Structure 1
């Protein structure tokens, strides 16, 4: 009886060994967990062949994806872009574990590794549509890692690729930014929401604002202005909220926003040097404004550079002047950053996340 059991055990072991040996590569791939995508916020990887990259695509990528973020004292791109080839993704798997990819393919080059990748990833119908229309796009999720996005931009030949790139890039930028905005929101509020400070702002200004943990109220000799600050390594992030009576529609303009912000800066913000105050510097760099809507309220959005008069401090700001029709008031929600020697784009993105949570009654 024991000999019979031994034979059964050996037969079963041999069968399992044979099955795993025949499909060992697929078996191991099944057992290996899919990695999670990683990478800095607002980073982007462009995948293309070296020949395609050198034949004009690099210039287009720089123009469309590395345009300056509006507005900072020193230019910083909207995305931090890195270029790699498909061969490098295969050779160094870590390159396949990042979050955002744009794949640029010239389908006329059938020997191209990028073209081969696209042909393997997309349906025949999609490829035929690109060949018929001249260019096209497609989106894939989680190709090499969980939580990543690939945007394919394809042309039936090199010229069609460049033409298509110039037409579809606004939608591509918007799609990537929407994902990065969500990541930035998670980062901004990882310490939760400070309900107490939010209640203070609501009581004094009538506006509701989601204030992340880490911000504290700056003492002022008035309740007309609420100033919140968060200190991080090498930088100071600031939110200021105030309200003014609505008088006429001229206030809801570039000039109206500037007047209110400059008045608040002159009364409440200064450095340790005497006779200093904050003001908008729209001489060295322009202040950009546009009419918009924020959570159901008409608003004027302004972006520009602030500086301290009679001192050497400066930085970027973003302001929203909201029309609170119910209370016949205007609410200014302003955010500014002081970060000498540091990159400021992502710091400003955090401030924007907070300001865009503003609502008025």
Structure 2
């Protein structure tokens, strides 16, 4: 009997230990890329507070030829904040409370996860909090979604040798992309999709090729147009890829892999043709290798949404690591 008691006790300890171990492992988040679950009662959602949320988090993405929301928003009443909604990567909880408060909780219900708690005494107080903290919220959600896309890409990556040997970089490109052109200082990779294709360009130019000051944007546009003239054409003669002149591109100075980089977003077109679409271009100032390293993504998907296509390209480009 003592042996049976000892055996029972050991089994019980093992079960409890396993349960504690399982409890310590956070649930994995689920859901589509660039999606936010907004937990808010219908009364607030259908009024000015809801309008404020939509204006901030569903505003048009810059650089796309058609209007598409920054994030896809799914709204749920507060009483339903259970189950699959708590597995979302990005959750914004909005409600009236006894005090005005803004709080960010990381991995509160699952991982990786951002949970933003917003409460205010009045609807006006809630709107003021949303206005104040929306840039911070958007920045954190975008970072999380880039990392999630990179995590998905890592499941199946192209052999990096060709890219590494040519450009002295590590770049996480999924196996869904295939090489179209390989030259000494230029690579074109393309992924075919049901509605068209997405492309990734890699090339480098001498570091003095970019003119500083007011001519910087013009210099980058001229550079990418010259690359299009050399390598990317339509089926008919004189149909090179160029930057669409009708819309001024968006331009930002950022850091990429710790180096100064210039981000340009706009629309491309084929000269004397009807094909067009969005592009995102990063010109990285790499003084160590005395060059400007250019990584560009563009998509062709007529009449289809392009937000997530461009997000994938941005995620690939932002995985770059320059080898010293």
TM-score range, shorter chain: 0.7 to 0.9
Structure 1 vs Structure 2 CA RMSD: 2.7
Report the counterpart of residue 162 of structure 1 in structure 2: 127
Report the counterpart of residue 162 of structure 2 in structure 1: 197
Q: Which runs of 5+ in 2 are unaligned?
A: 1-21
Report the counterpart of residue 17 of structure 1 in structure 2: none
Report the counterpart of residue 57 of structure 1 in structure 2: 49
Q: How does 1:1-361 map to 2 (within 5 A)?
A: 36-89=28-81, 93-108=83-98, 131=99, 134-139=100-105, 141-143=107-109, 148-202=113-167, 206-219=168-181, 222-247=183-208, 250=211, 253-283=216-246, 285-360=247-322, 361=324
Q: Structure 2 CA distance, aligned partners of 1:146 and 1:266?
A: 46
Displacement, 1:193?
4.2
Displacement, 1:259?
0.8
**Is the radius of gyration larger for structure 1 or structure 2?**
1
Displacement, 1:62?
1.1
Q: Structure 1 CA distance, aligned partners of 2:26 and 2:207?
A: 56
Q: Which runs of 5+ in 1 are unaligned?
A: 1-29, 109-130
Distance 1:189 1:342, change over 3 A: farther
Q: Structure 1 CA distance, aligned partners of 2:106 and 2:170?
A: 38
Q: Structure 1 CA distance, aligned partners of 2:243 and 2:262?
A: 16
Equivalent residues of 2:104, 2:114 under 8 A apart: no
Q: Structure 2 CA distance, aligned partners of 1:349 and 1:244?
A: 25
Distance 1:209 1:104, change over 3 A: same
Report the counterpart of residue 4 of structure 1 in structure 2: none
Q: Structure 2 CA distance, aligned partners of 1:147 and 1:332?
A: 31
Question: Structure 1 length normalisation: TM-score?
Answer: 0.75
Q: Structure 2 CA distance, aligned partners of 1:65 and 1:214?
A: 30
Q: Structure 1 CA distance, aligned partners of 2:77 and 2:193?
A: 37
Displacement, 1:315?
1.0
Q: Structure 2 CA distance, aligned partners of 1:140 and 1:211?
A: 28
Distance 1:212 1:86, change over 3 A: same
Equivalent residues of 1:297, 1:359 under 8 A apart: no
Equivalent residues of 1:207, 1:331 under 8 A apart: no
Displacement, 1:135?
3.5
Partner SS, residue 219 of structure 1: strand
Q: Structure 2 CA distance, aligned partners of 1:54 and 1:342?
A: 29
Displacement, 1:267?
1.7
Displacement, 1:94?
4.2
Equivalent residues of 1:298, 1:322 under 8 A apart: yes
Please identify which structure carries the higher strand content.
Answer: 2
Q: Structure 2 CA distance, aligned partners of 1:349 and 1:256?
A: 25
Equivalent residues of 2:63, 2:265 under 8 A apart: yes
**How many equivalent residue pairs?**
300
Distance 1:136 1:146, change over 3 A: closer
Equivalent residues of 2:160, 2:171 under 8 A apart: no
Equivalent residues of 2:150, 2:319 under 8 A apart: no
Q: Structure 2 CA distance, aligned partners of 1:248 and 1:146?
A: 44
Displacement, 1:288?
0.9
Displacement, 1:164?
1.2
Partner SS, residue 274 of structure 2: coil
